[in-house]
Amino acid sequence: MERFLQVVVDGIADGSVYAALALALVLIFRSTGVVNFAQGEMAMFATFVAWALADSGVPLVLALLGALAFAFAAGMLVERVLIRPVEGGNPLNLVIVTLGLFIVVNAAAGWIWGFTLKDFPQIFPGGVAEVGGVSLSVESLGIIGVLLAVVLVLWALFTHTGIGLAMRAAAQSPASARLVGVPVGRMLMLGWGLAALLGALAGVLVAPRLFLDTNLMAGVLVYSFAGAALGGFDSPLGAVIGSWIIGITEGLAGTYVDAIGSDLKVLVPLTIIVGVLLLRPSGLFGSPEVTRA
């Protein structure tokens, strides 16, 4: 039983990392209608920034905050410079821009920092904490705590502040938002900045568990996709719960199903993506698209 709970908690922690990136995907999807395929690579780049800062002697906390700030600014810049010219046109153009960005950011990170594996400093203390008689990893609990805090902040931002309301309005109906005086362009920029920040958070949370290299987020992106698809691409709550489900099932399947083990774990999210697309394309919490004939 203790083993089972450990696996579940570790699964929720993994799921929380996926959830941070899935939230970034959902944020962009809601405002532009497309998935930002470069979200993971942007996160990887920001994680490298954190590593480089820490490596050059900056205290870890400041290095992490610096990387998040960098991601926020870079996300806004990407929207302003690369996305704005193709926004509102054919969605395919936007998709292609994000794919191009994927390749460029990946190559740039390799060009700057090389392709060898880097050891990312631990953010949370190692070891275990006793919770109700069960030994749980402090790191897992820390990651879950960080994600819950992020969800709370996002919820407050979007439901209790004028700027959050304006961002939702701009995402839902840009034309109407402009007519009441909402600067839609600035809201989109802010959305991209926020998404990049969430992605960077996923990056620095997962990096200590893996080694840091330019392919850091490739796996995470797949799981985040699965989480967002399961929860519904237009639902932030769905993205979090979907990602947790992915994390837990991935952990349980890897631990208890011998045939899967750690090598075939990635089949779990892929199976879920296919299943969701077949059975409930709008996801658990998503709203199905309604078109009037």
Partner 1 sequence: MSLLEIEGLTASYGPVRALHGVDLTVGAGQVVALLGPNGAGKTTTLRAVCGMVRTTGTIRFAGRDLAGTAPEKVARLGIGHVPEGRGTFGSLTVAENLRLGAYGRKDAAAVRSDTDEWYSTFPRLAERRDQQAGSLSGGEQQMLAIARALLGRPSLLLLDEPSLGLAPLVVREVFAVLGRVRAERGTGMVLVEQNAALALELADTAYVLEAGRTVLSGPAAEIRTEESVRRAYLGY
Give me the sign of the Cα torsion angle 247, 253, 254, 256.
positive
Return all residues near 116 (Cβ < 8 A) that are at least 6 apart: 213
The interface with partner 1 within residues 39-98 (CB under 8 A) comprises none
Q: Closest CB to partner 1 among 179 and 259?
A: 179
Site string for partner 1, 136-175 (x = CB under 8 A): --------------------------x--xx-xx--xx-x
Nearest-approach distance from CB 173 to partner 1, in angstroms: 6
Nearest-approach distance from CB 9 to partner 1, in angstroms: 35
State CA 170 to chain mean position distance. Answer: 22
For 87, the token pair is 């926004």
Nearest-approach distance from CB 238 to partner 1, in angstroms: 14
Nearest-approach distance from CB 159 to partner 1, in angstroms: 9
Nearest-approach distance from CB 214 to partner 1, in angstroms: 38
230 sits near partner 1 (criterion: CB under 8 A)? no
- Distances 122 to 54, 61, 88, 119, 193 between C-alpha atoms, Å: 11, 11, 42, 9, 26
Q: Closest CB to partner 1 among 126 and 181?
A: 181
Return all residues near 3 (Cβ < 8 A) that are at least 6 apart: 255
For 73, the token pair is 């600014």
Helix, strand, coil shares of the chain, percent, nearest 5, are 75, 5, 25
Q: Closest CB to partner 1 among 173 and 271?
A: 173
178 sits near partner 1 (criterion: CB under 8 A)? yes
Residue ranges binding partner 1 (CB under 8 A):
162, 165-166, 168-169, 172-173, 175-184, 287
